[in-house]
A and B are shown apart, each in its own frame.
Chain A
Amino acid sequence: MLEGWKKFNFWVLMLLVPINIYLIFLYAPVEKTMGIVQKVFYFHVASAWIGLLAFVVVFIASIAYLANRKVQMNHLALASAEIGTLFISCTLLTGPLWAYPIWNTWWTWDPRLTTTLVLWFMYVAYIALQGGGTAENRRRFAAVYGIVAFINVPLVFFSARWWRSIHPIVVSGEGIGLTPKMRFVMFFSIVTFSFLYTYLLGLRYKGISLAERINRLKAELSQ
């Protein structure tokens, strides 16, 4: 079933990615004050959303692991944490590329930027934690850490609303501050990145399961 889903996902991506490139480069209008650099926004926002979604999956899978001790839940949490960290890395790298021409600085210790950087460090630590210790202890500690680290996810989302922040807020209680064409491209990018996330999740989950099987086979051989 996983293989079938992966194939489906792959072909959907083959369709969505070129359309997304076309929409970003040619369909989305150029913003009047910021110019073409505003288009960084379409993949910056999409990767941030998918990064946060990935950490929601880590949180849920960690709770599920502690509740029923199924190893698959631990594998799912680890795979999702890795991919979430990848997407948050994309967010942290593309943000300064937009900020420099607009804010005239690569980085500022703004609440949104700072909480996102802290989030990135927390999940790098989670991945490192999954790499050490005995199998059962490692999984249990990682699950607890995966739940505790999740506290930073809503902080990142609400930081620009709760504290004085210069980071733009696109989706607020007053609606979405974008033209219809820009809004369509933003949602299309989020959908494309969601498929990318599920595709990578399937790949990485299989890789972690294979590594676990190798450990079992090695243990059997050494008996």
Chain B
Amino acid sequence: MVFFTLGYAVIWILILGYTALIRSQQSKLEKQIVILEERLREQERAAES
């Protein structure tokens, strides 16, 4: 039972850990995109004026 439980736990720890990692990375990237787009718009406005 110990080996079976360990095997089951290993699979789900790896999969759920990876999912959580890429989800948090994705939300960071989305925030970064918003900031960069804003900066780009500011740069364009500054160039126009």
A residues neighboring B (CB under 8 Å): 24, 36-37, 39-40, 43-44, 47, 86, 89-90, 93-94, 97-98, 100-101, 196, 200, 203-204, 206-207, 210-211, 213-214, 217-218, 220-221
Contacts of B30 in A (CB 8 A): 210
A43 vs B3: C-alpha distance in the bound complex, in angstroms?
13
Are the CB atoms of A39 and B4 closer together than 8 Å?
A: yes
Question: A36-B1, A39-B4, A206-B26 given as contacts; is B11 within 8 A of A217 (CB)?
Answer: no
Shortest distance from the beta carbon of B37 to any chain A beta carbon, whole Å? 7
Are the CB atoms of B40 and A217 closer together than 8 Å?
A: yes
Question: A203-B23, A207-B29, A211-B29 given as contacts; is B14 within 8 A of A43 (CB)?
Answer: no
Are the CB atoms of A214 and B4 closer together than 8 Å?
A: no
CB < 8 Å neighbour of B22 from A93, A204, A221: A204
Contacts of A206 in B (CB 8 A): 26
Are the CB atoms of A221 and B8 closer together than 8 Å?
A: no
A43 vs B18: C-alpha distance in the bound complex, in angstroms?
17
Are the CB atoms of B33 and A40 closer together than 8 Å?
A: no
A36 vs B7: C-alpha distance in the bound complex, in angstroms?
12
Restricting to B1-42, which residues have a CB under 8 Å from any CB of A? Answer: 1, 3-4, 6-8, 10-11, 14-15, 18-19, 22-23, 25-26, 29-30, 32-33, 36-37, 39-40
Point out which of A89, A196, A207, A221 has the most chain B C-beta atoms below 10 A from its C-beta.
A207
Number of interface residues of B (CB under 8 A): 25
Contacts of B29 in A (CB 8 A): 207, 210-211, 214
Question: A90-B10, A93-B10, A210-B29 given as contacts; is B36 within 8 A of A40 (CB)?
Answer: no
Interface presence of B49 (CB below 8 A): no
Are the CB atoms of A221 and B43 closer together than 8 Å?
A: yes
Are the CB atoms of A207 and B25 closer together than 8 Å?
A: yes
Question: A86-B14, A86-B15 given as contacts; is B33 within 8 A of A44 (CB)?
Answer: no
Shortest distance from the beta carbon of A104 to any chain B beta carbon, whole Å? 13
Since A93-B7, A210-B30 are in contact, a sample of 9 more A-B pairs with Cβ atoms closer than 8 Å, ordered by chain A residue number, is: A37-B4, A40-B4, A97-B4, A200-B18, A200-B19, A203-B22, A203-B26, A204-B22, A218-B36
Are the CB atoms of A97 and B10 closer together than 8 Å?
A: yes
A218 vs B35: C-alpha distance in the bound complex, in angstroms?
11
Shortest distance from the beta carbon of A44 to any chain B beta carbon, whole Å? 7
Are the CB atoms of A94 and B40 closer together than 8 Å?
A: no
Are the CB atoms of A94 and B36 closer together than 8 Å?
A: no
Are the CB atoms of B37 and A217 closer together than 8 Å?
A: yes
Are the CB atoms of A98 and B3 closer together than 8 Å?
A: yes
Point out which of B18, B37, B43 has the most chain A C-beta atoms below 10 A from its C-beta.
B18
